[in-house]
């Protein structure tokens, strides 16, 4: 059964309140802390690290396989399949990063830049 990937995004109400400067500096630090360390997804970072390591190993194996096939004079179809497999894994890793926090951090940074420009360097991810 395919696993559905949940994309984490910033709550639209919180995002608009940040842009309208409705929070104190202490509230902003707490919101940032909650985004950085979500309570309900404690083991998420270790899962993301595991996917990154597996993806890196797969890409290295695919690249090594391409060089071996080229040296031995293998058919171009095998080389194309190895490169496509590496690209699929890379795209999956990038989407996994985006879904597991990249989007929410980017939304938070954009809201901070608009609502609290003087605190941007302190609060950005």
pLDDT (tens digit per residue) in 60-116 = 777 777 677 666 666 677 667 777 777 777 777 777 666 666 778 888 899 999 998
Domain residue ranges in the chain: 13-36+45-123
Q: What is the pLDDT of residue 1?
A: 42
In this prediction, residue 100 carries a pLDDT of 66
Q: Is the model more confident about 31 or about 68?
A: 31
> Quick one: DSSP state of residue 116?
-
DSSP H helical ranges for the chain: 12-19, 25-36, 44-72, 76-97, 103-115, 120-123
**Contacting residues for 23 by C-beta, under 8 A, at least 6 apart:** 17, 31
- Backbone phi and psi for residue 20, each to the nearest 5 degrees, phi listed first: -90, 5
């Amino acid at each position: 059964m395919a696993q559905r990937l949940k994309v984490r995004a910033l709550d639209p109400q919180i995002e608009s309140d940040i842009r309208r400067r409705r929070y104190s500096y202490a509230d902003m630090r707490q919101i940032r802390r909650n985004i950085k360390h979500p309570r309900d997804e404690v083991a998420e970072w270790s899962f993301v690290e595991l996917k990154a390591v597996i993806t890196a190993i797969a890409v290295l194996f695919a690249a090594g396989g391409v060089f071996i096939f080229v040296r031995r004079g293998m058919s171009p179809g095998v080389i194309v399949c190895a490169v496509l497999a590496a690209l699929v894994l890379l795209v999956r890793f990038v989407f996994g990063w985006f879904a597991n926090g990249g989007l929410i951090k980017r939304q938070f940074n954009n809201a901070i830049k608009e609502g609290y420009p003087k605190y941007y360097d302190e609060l950005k991810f």
